[in-house]
Amino acid sequence: MIANPFLDPDCIRDALYGDAARIAQRTSALRRAKISGRHPATVIADLASAGPRGTVVDIGCGRGTSTLALARRLAPPRLIAFDQSAALLADAEHRLAGHAGVEFLQGDFHAIGLADASAMVIVAAFCLYHSPHPATAIAEIARCLVPGGMSITVTKSADSYQTLSEVIATSGLDLDAGNRPSLYETFHSDNQADIVATSLHVQQVIHDEHHFRFADADHIAAYAATTPRFQLPGTPAEIAGQLKTTIGNGPLETTSTVTYVVATRP
Ligand SMILES: C[S@@+](CC[C@H](N)C(=O)[O-])C[C@H]1O[C@@H](n2cnc3c(N)ncnc32)[C@H](O)[C@@H]1O
């Protein structure tokens, strides 16, 4: 069995989220490729605005994209951005400068350093798939919510960006690319609601189809180079060069489903 780098604590801390510039480059390459699909931060803020008023926590906030949307849309009295990466929390703090009532808390979502029943709304977007046991993090979210409080968890389908993996394999850049574990292996569109239901009452499940079109080999390489799913030789320019000589410089279309689960604490 091939080890899943997305569940390796060292890989998560260093290669994946130790550097805000790498994650910004990855997000930017994906955003340029986006053809359709609602922006997740907007959907999260819309869903949260229907929740109870009070303290809001953004678990696994990363660079603070959803935190920023929550601050703008809800302006809650207390907004806690929570993540284990000091580098990404620092970037989030920079991006949220000027918003009142925002706190930044470093920690592990398996043992959230907040009091019982201290939050009204907790968001955990695109992060719980880094846990080998996401139900433990869901139980922590439930502990921190007040009864009647709302959780919004978000993940993607396990087959997200599959055609990209196929192209990386076909090009000979990484022959095993299609067989490597998905980033979303432990917490994905099809098991998210069942895992959330282990500690919370599921109220709503929303599946949003996203379509992407990478313009050319350079665009594919800019994104592929940022994921440890692939074992790629060289720089993005070298990766693009090999793509051009093997499969050409044409565009690549791919898809992903983004799934939102809204739940409440009983
Ligand atoms: C893909 S980013 C998601 C960022 C943000 N939620 C968004 O929607 O843009 C995943 C985040 O999860 C964080 N993370 C991974 N494992 C974690 C853990 N055990 N405890 C806390 N944060 C964790 C990473 O540091 C990273 O910032």
Residue 223 lies in a domain: no
Q: What percent of the chain clears pLDDT 70, i.e. is strictly above it?
A: 99
**pLDDT-based confidence at 2, cuts 50/70/90?**
low
Residue 164 lies in a domain: no
Range list of H helices, 17-85:
20-33, 40-49, 65-74
Residue 127 lies in a domain: yes
SS3 content of the chain, % helix, strand, coil (to 5): 40, 25, 35
pLDDT computed for residue 18 by the predictor: 82
Taking CA atoms only, the protein residue closest to ligand 1 atom 2 is 62
Report residues whose beta carbon is within 6 angstroms of any ligand 1 atom: 12, 17, 60-62, 65-66, 83-85, 88, 108-110, 125-127, 130
Contact call for residues 37 and 258 (beta carbons, < 8 A)? yes
Residue 104: pLDDT over 70: yes
Residue to substitute in 84, 127, 227 for testing ligand 1 pocket (most ligand atoms within 8 angstroms of CB): 127
Residue to substitute in 130, 156, 227 for testing ligand 1 pocket (most ligand atoms within 8 angstroms of CB): 130
Q: How far is the CA of 127 from the centre of ligand 1 (A)?
A: 4
Q: How far is the CA of 137 from the centre of ligand 1 (A)?
A: 12
Q: Give pLDDT tens digits for 150-198.
A: 999 999 999 999 999 999 999 999 999 988 888 899 999 999 999 999 9
Residue 239 lies in a domain: no
3-state DSSP call for residue 73? helix
Residue 177 lies in a domain: no
Mean pLDDT for 55-78 is: 98
State the Cα–Cα distance between residues 157 and 166, nearest whole angstrom.
16
Q: How many domains does the chain have?
A: 1
Range list of H helices, the chain:
9-11, 20-33, 40-49, 65-74, 86-95, 134-144, 162-170, 192-196, 217-224, 236-246
Name the residue range of residue 42's domain.
5-159+182-215+255-264
> What CATH code is carried by the domain that includes residue 125?
3.40.50.150
Q: Give pLDDT tens digits for 5-39.
A: 788 888 878 777 888 887 888 889 999 999 999 99
pLDDT computed for residue 24 by the predictor: 82
Q: Give pLDDT tens digits for 112-132.
A: 999 999 999 999 999 999 999
Residue 242 lies in a domain: no
